[in-house]
Structure 1
Amino acid sequence: MATIVKTPSGTWKALIRKIGWPTTSKTFRTKRDADDWSRRTEDEMVRGVFISRSPSERMTFGAALKRYISEVSTTKKLKTQSSEAGSAKHLDKFFGKYSLAAVSSELVASYRDQRLADGKANNTVRIELALLSHLFTIAIQEWGLGITYNPVVNIRKPSPGEGRDRRLTVTEQEQLLNTVKQHSNPMLGWIVMIAIETGMRQSEILGIRHSHVDLKRRVVRLSDTKNDSSRTVPLTRVATEVFKTALENPLRPSGIDLIFFGEPGKDGKRSPYQFKKIWGDIKKSLGFVDLHFHDLRHEAVSRLVEAGLSDQEVASISGHKSMQMLRRYTHLRAEDLVKKLDRLQDE
């Protein structure tokens, strides 16, 4: 049986001691609430389904988020850590003062609607909700905080939207390459060329080291990829020549294995070459404000498809794990398909 006593402050404390279960207590404003809670809790213990919710009631979402960033985010890639740090700021601002137990599906849906109403992109909100959901999954499975369900699981997620279909025209590519090749740092031009020729992601290109490149076999071995699956990328003749030039870069300091290296940091170590601001300035000067660096990957993948490679062959080069995702990144020019249809009819 539960013990219910009145506290000096005028509230009512319910205390349950039952063999086989940890001592459990909770304080209420009224004796009736204490009685109701005691009966429900004892019934759950009898049925073997009791979960102490006290830890989740005591811990604020802000504290849980701080623990997640410290223990979980730090195990992920630096780019993911940076992205999650940005998402965490918005989540903390909205949920921070709530207890974990108070974060309901209704509250999460309200957050989703508010972010969308503020004009945030669907994918941005989806990423934030994914972080929120994983935090609750970790809290349930690993932290033992007494949370009974994940409030994010059953709410509607914003649609991912259509994939980008930005393609480079022949003129645009010529203008872009001419501009990047004139930049004072030749690595910029090499990086852009490799992206167009191979379809590798920016992070993959910047992480390439001397030991990853085999010019004789004309391949690059990528071990650090977005989906954590290593792959070997074949090189076109143009890409092979670019890598050959980059490997012979006379400005590479001794002991630096990175192909595309940046200036030394405060610790004296060199990180991969970063060119975000330079890329933005070049786009602005050319009037290509809607061109993302990732569009060069789109372009490369689409050209592989147009060249007649099968989906499986393209996926082995690009690293896409699903055909559905590959199709989102592959956009064929309608005029090229017209020419292909004409050739079929002429045969």
Structure 2
Amino acid sequence: MDRFFEETSLRAGTIETYRYTSRVVSRLIGHLHLDEIDKRNLAGFISTRKRTSVTDATIKRDLAFVGSIFTAAKQWGWADTSPVTALDTKALKESRPRTRFLTREDFDRLHRFASADLKPILVIAVETGLRKEELLSLTITSVDLQRREIHLSTTKAGRPRRVPLSPLAAQTIRGLLERARPRSPYLFCKADGSRIG
């Protein structure tokens, strides 16, 4: 696993998830050598995870990590096959994605009770659909008010994209930029100009 994390070129978010998963894998099957991990051990791994009320989707992600480890081990000449590919995971159901939208009443109530610093963040979040990391890492130079769009160079998918600004989003950003603010490259920043976490 150490070598895998040193040499992998996966996206940062995937690596972060895999690092967490690696602790679980180490605890449950980390005492085994690669050639000792087989379908039977993995079936035991799945049973143990199910007994601790872990969802099937999480178990599938755990197995995807183990599969990635074996793919790397095969490239290094440390393993001939991956026991994960021989495993039947059809019984593991993917959970249906949760889709939750705020109603206008929910948003109005949330906005009314939010702090002054949080209010514009909430408006931009709802108006653009940006992810939290995209939103909080927004720089002033990434906003083009003339074209009414935001240019994102770093995204979860690893590809740049443009996000249109609604009239309310553009108005909110204009208001942020026109008021007295610390010197900061970030659109949303603390009093000392550092990024909001």
TM-score of the two chains, using structure 2 as the length reference: 0.87
Partner SS, residue 84 of structure 2: coil
Which residue number corresponds to residue 216 of structure 1?
146
Q: Identify the range of structure 1 (81-90 vs 220-229) with the bigger mean alpha-carbon deviation.
A: 81-90
Partner SS, residue 124 of structure 2: helix
Q: Residue 86 of structure 2: which of 126, 145, 154 is its match?
A: 154
* Match runs of 1:273-312 below 5 Å: 273-274=196-197
Relative to structure 1, the CA distance from residue 84 to residue 245 in structure 2 (aligned partners, 3 Å threshold; closer, same or farther) is farther
TM-score of the two chains, using structure 1 as the length reference: 0.52
CA distance in 2, matches of 1:246, 1:122: 44
Once the two structures are superposed, residues 282-310 of structure 1 have per-residue CA deviations (whole angstroms, 9 ceiling, x without a partner) of: xxxxxxxxxxxxxxxxxxxxxxxxxxxxx
CA shift for structure 1 position 126? 2.2
Count residues in correspondence. Answer: 195
Who wins on radius of gyration, i.e. which is larger? Answer: 1
Letter in 2 for 1:144: G
Q: Residue 144 of structure 1: which of 65, 77, 85 is its match?
A: 77
Relative to structure 1, the CA distance from residue 262 to residue 81 in structure 2 (aligned partners, 3 Å threshold; closer, same or farther) is farther
CA shift for structure 1 position 263? 7.9
Letter in 2 for 1:130: A
CA-based RMSD of the aligned residues comes to 2.3
Q: Residue 100 of structure 2: which of 166, 172, 178 is its match?
A: 166
CA shift for structure 1 position 197? 0.8
CA shift for structure 1 position 195? 1.6
CA shift for structure 1 position 84? 2.2
Partner SS, residue 62 of structure 2: helix
Relative to structure 1, the CA distance from residue 235 to residue 89 in structure 2 (aligned partners, 3 Å threshold; closer, same or farther) is same
CA shift for structure 1 position 200? 1.5
CA shift for structure 1 position 93? 0.3
Q: Relative contact order (alpha carbons < 8 A, sep ≥ 6): 1 or 2 greater?
A: 2
Say if 2:181 is the partner of 1:260. Answer: no
Structure 2: gaps of 5 or more residues: none
Q: Residue 161 of structure 2: which of 225, 231, 256 is its match?
A: 231
CA shift for structure 1 position 262? 5.2
| Matched-pair identity in % | 27
Structure 1: gaps of 5 or more residues: 1-64, 275-347
Letter in 1 for 2:3: R
Report which of the two has the higher share of strand: 1
CA distance in 2, matches of 1:130, 1:246: 43
Letter in 2 for 1:70: E
